[in-house]
Amino acid sequence: MTSSKGLRSQYDDVWLMDGVRTPFADYNTVLGLVSPTDLGIKVAREVFRRTAVSPAAVDIVVAGSMAQASFDAYLLARHIGIYSGVPVEVPAHLVQRVCGTGMEAILAAADSIKLGKAALGLVVGTESMSRNPVAAYTHRGGFRMGQVEFKDFLWESLLDTCPNVTMGTSSETLAKQYKVSREDADHFAAQSFDRAIAAQKSCFLSGEIVPLVSEPFELPGYHARGIRLPKKVESFGQDSHVRPSPIAVLAKLPPSFGGVQTAGNSSGIVDGAAATLVASGPFLREHSHPPLAKVVAGAVVGVPPEIMGIGPVPAIRAVLEAGGLRLDQIDRFEINEAFAAQTLACQRELQLDPSKLNVNGGAIAIGHPLAATGVRLAITLARELKRLGGRYGISSACIGGGQGIALLVENASAQ
Ligand SMILES: CC(C)(COP(=O)(O)OP(=O)(O)OC[C@H]1O[C@@H](n2cnc3c(N)ncnc32)[C@H](O)[C@@H]1OP(=O)(O)O)[C@@H](O)C(=O)NCCC(=O)NCCS
């Protein structure tokens, strides 16, 4: 599958300066009551601390969050900017490309830099899956007997009403098309957990994580806000969905969507946030902080909604075209593991070497906080390229509604 349509962009001198994320928490647990705005403020403050870049240098704030997870959710991007120290004169906006939101936010900042509108962008993807509201859309005028509409937004939003297919069912369709068996899916999931456990043990994952504690975010003249963890939880520092998951255990879990997908081989539902600073070359060279990676190209394409999970295939082909590279020149791939069968379908279609794909585990083990995922994938990929001494990497995600997005980065120190 390739696409002549879609958006492709290429960048000559745009950089990811650094990146950081919160640990991801199983939904309804330790971060269950924390606003995604506060998770976003935390990672934004931390990326400024790690780079020693002043928030006063930021020209644009781009943030993403899917769920309307607080009453002030419309203002999420603005509040993340202001409470992380970005001057009030600097504009902020939200982007939304469903599971591709984090990568879209990076591309939006990169585009602004390429166009000469900005030299430094603060990019944040943040999601509270827990605080997806229980919502109703039809009661502004009151209730009619027996016609109360309140529904669980988290559950309902995983159904695409266009083809009338849930995200999980779309993966089952790909499982049939690409002959992914239950054993294949469980094997892939067990490997994701194993790799994430190894990446925790080697401290690779902790390198991109800022531990959370209860803390206020104060701002003179404005309302104080902050993170409050549950009583008796002093700090939270490690992804909680990661756990030993041998195939024999995974094999016993019941199907969640009538086929090969289960709770063990689908992406974990978690809360979390991630941030990165996207900088122009001149800005980067004025600062002593070594860059995380060069942004080479981006692409986003559409695919049939009923097989939304295949989106990374044409997106990766498009981003290679935009960057002028071949698949065999790519040292590492991060494809979001929305579902095992979906990721395996992409791997089979692209004939990707499994030893280059999601080598530190993926969303099956670590979890998939929708808007934060794209930023996490980009950060993890860039850090892995550095660790490996590899040159090029691609991160990609499938997107509910039927799209795929991909980001091509280069490890500057491997040139
Ligand atoms: C698949 C899915 C429906 C499962 O939801 P769930 O049933 O609420 O999942 P739970 O976490 O409660 O897990 C169910 C059971 O499996 C067990 N389980 C989950 N992962 C496991 C693992 N790795 N090893 C062992 N057991 C595991 C749980 O312990 C639980 O056991 P219990 O019933 O005895 O308590 C949900 O995770 C999902 O929809 N994921 C995909 C989200 C999505 O679509 N994102 C967007 C992508 S486009």
Q: How many helices (H) and strands (E) does the chain have?
A: 12, 18
pLDDT of residue 279: 98
Is 99 among the catalytic positions?
yes
Question: Tokens 């919502």 sit at which residue?
Answer: 135
3-state DSSP assignment of residue 306: helix
- Residues in the chain, overall count: 415
Q: State the distance from the centre of ligand 1 to the C-alpha of 263, rounded, in angstroms.
A: 3
pLDDT of residue 339: 98
Convert the pLDDT of each residue in 355-399 to its tens digit: 999 999 999 999 999 999 999 999 999 999 999 999 999 999 999
Q: State the distance from the centre of ligand 1 to the C-alpha of 243, rounded, in angstroms.
A: 13
Q: State the distance from the centre of ligand 1 to the C-alpha of 155, rounded, in angstroms.
A: 13
Convert the pLDDT of each residue in 319-331 to its tens digit: 999 999 999 999 9
Q: How do 270-280 and 25-26 pair as beta strands?
A: antiparallel
Sequence-distant (≥ 6) Cβ neighbours of residue 387 within 8 angstroms: 204
Residue nearest to atom 23 of ligand 1 (CA): 264
Question: Tokens 């996490």 sit at which residue?
Answer: 376
pLDDT of residue 1: 73
pLDDT of residue 209: 98
Q: Per-residue pLDDT for the chain (415 aa), expressed as one digit of tens each?
A: 767 789 999 999 999 999 999 999 999 999 999 999 999 999 999 999 999 999 999 999 999 999 999 999 999 999 999 999 999 999 999 999 999 999 999 999 999 999 999 999 999 999 999 999 999 999 999 988 999 999 999 999 999 999 999 999 999 999 999 999 999 999 999 999 999 999 999 999 999 999 999 999 999 999 999 999 999 999 999 999 999 999 999 999 999 999 999 999 999 999 999 999 999 999 999 999 999 999 999 999 999 999 999 999 999 999 999 999 999 999 999 999 999 999 999 999 999 999 999 999 999 999 999 999 999 999 999 999 999 999 999 999 999 999 999 999 999 888 6
pLDDT of residue 412: 85
> Closest Cα to residue 31, out of 214, 263, 276?
214
pLDDT of residue 415: 62
pLDDT of residue 283: 98
Task: Find out whether 281 and 203 touch, Cβ atoms under 8 Å.
Answer: no
CA dist 193 and 263 (Å) reads 13
Residue nearest to atom 15 of ligand 1 (CA): 263
The residues that bridge with 410 in the sheet, in sequence order, are 294, 392
pLDDT of residue 216: 98
The residues that bridge with 398 in the sheet, in sequence order, are 404
> Closest Cα to residue 357, out of 327, 386, 334?
334
Residue nearest to atom 44 of ligand 1 (CA): 167
pLDDT of residue 413: 87
Which atom belonging to ligand 1 lies closest to the Cα atom of 166? Answer: 44
Using alpha carbons only, what angle is made at residue 101 by residues 334 and 282, rounded to the nearest 5 degrees? 80
CA dist 108 and 115 (Å) reads 11
Q: State the distance from the centre of ligand 1 to the C-alpha of 407, rounded, in angstroms.
A: 29
Task: Find out whether 204 and 67 touch, Cβ atoms under 8 Å.
Answer: no
Task: Please give the domain boundaries of the chain with CATH numbers for all domains.
Answer: 7-131+207-239+267-285 (3.40.47.10), 296-414 (3.40.47.10)
Residue nearest to atom 20 of ligand 1 (CA): 264
Residue nearest to atom 2 of ligand 1 (CA): 263
Q: State the distance from the centre of ligand 1 to the C-alpha of 48, rounded, in angstroms.
A: 35
3-state DSSP assignment of residue 1: coil
- Amino acid identity for residue 406 in this structure: A
Residue tagged active-site, from 162, 203, 346, 398: 398
Which atom belonging to ligand 1 lies closest to the Cα atom of 338? Answer: 47
Mutate-to-test residue for ligand 1 from 26, 28, 29, 158, highest number of ligand atoms within 8 A of CB: 158
3-state DSSP assignment of residue 188: helix
The whole-chain average pLDDT of the chain stands at 97
pLDDT of residue 18: 98
CB-based pocket (< 6 A), ligand 1:
99, 158, 167-168, 243, 245, 249-250, 253, 256, 263-264, 266-267, 269, 338, 368, 400
